[in-house]
Amino acid sequence: MSHYPHPIIAREGWPFLGGSVLFALLATFFLGVAWSIPFWIVALFVLQFFRDPPRAVPGDAKSILAPADGRIVVIEPALDPWLQRETLKISVFMNVFNVHSNRSPVDCTVVQRWYHPGKFINADLDKASTENERNALHLRTADGQDITCVQVAGLIARRILCYVAAGAKLERGQRYGFIRFGSRVDLYLPKDVRVKVGVGDTVQATSTILAEFP
């Protein structure tokens, strides 16, 4: 998969942005400036939601980067439901004001991809990891470390987009998917990683190092 060139606005947002600006222009023309203000506010919200800025890639091959912008809501031992192994789970919750492009946490090969339909409860809740619609990737680094990276839909999010399949090669920070309108990403990591963040911390996709391999 080629690198997305980061034109500031995510490609997934152009239809929404174009439509909202068109409605705002029509409202301005037919209703006047004052009545068009709510339409322009919606257009500004769409613009900020679909922003997709480039990010510098920190650390080295041992660094595990944040796959999404948001807030750390979970750091705990957990059973990886996809690979059936004991892991350390780190979850990042994205609200509607975060960047929603998802990026690879490590240099890796995609071993397997799973999609599971489900509910759309609040992604801030722990049960969202097991009950909501989700898309999981089994990632393997060159030295054999396994990570499961799971995109989880939320209360408002109704579309998970993933552009890679088994066999794809990803670099740290490379864009691989997008979730519309609020959600979370769960990482299931080897138990012996060194965690660099805490619950409640705000993180940025690619820019923040979540943990390091030993």
> Are 72 and 18 found together in one domain?
no
Give me the mean pLDDT over the 158-172 stretch. Answer: 89
Note the pLDDT tens digit of each residue in 179-199: 876 688 999 999 999 999 999
Query: What does pTM read for this prediction?
Result: 0.83
Residue 161 has a pLDDT of 86
Show the domain range for 173.
Answer: 63-212
> Are 187 and 148 found together in one domain?
yes
Residue 156 has a pLDDT of 56
List own/partner pairs for 29-37 with CB under 8 A and 24 or more apart: none
**CA-based end-to-end distance of the chain:** 29
> Are 48 and 86 found together in one domain?
no
Closest by CA to 213, choosing from 58, 56, 61, is: 61
User: In angstroms, rounded to a whole number, what is the distance separating the alpha carbons of residues 214 and 208?
Assistant: 18
User: In angstroms, rounded to a whole number, what is the distance separating the alpha carbons of residues 159 and 23?
Assistant: 23
> Are 29 and 104 found together in one domain?
no
> Are 173 and 203 found together in one domain?
yes
> Are 135 and 171 found together in one domain?
yes
Tally of structural domains, the chain: 2
Q: Which residues are catalytic?
A: 183
Look at residue 166 and give its three-state secondary structure. coil
Residue 1 has pLDDT above 50, yes or no: no
Asked if residue 162 is part of any domain, the answer here is: yes
Note the pLDDT tens digit of each residue in 119-135: 555 445 555 556 678 89
Position of tokens 């990570």? Answer: 147
Q: Which of 3-12, 152-161, 172-181, 203-212 has the lowest mean pLDDT?
A: 3-12
β-sheet bridge partners, residue 149: 137, 187
> Are 98 and 45 found together in one domain?
no
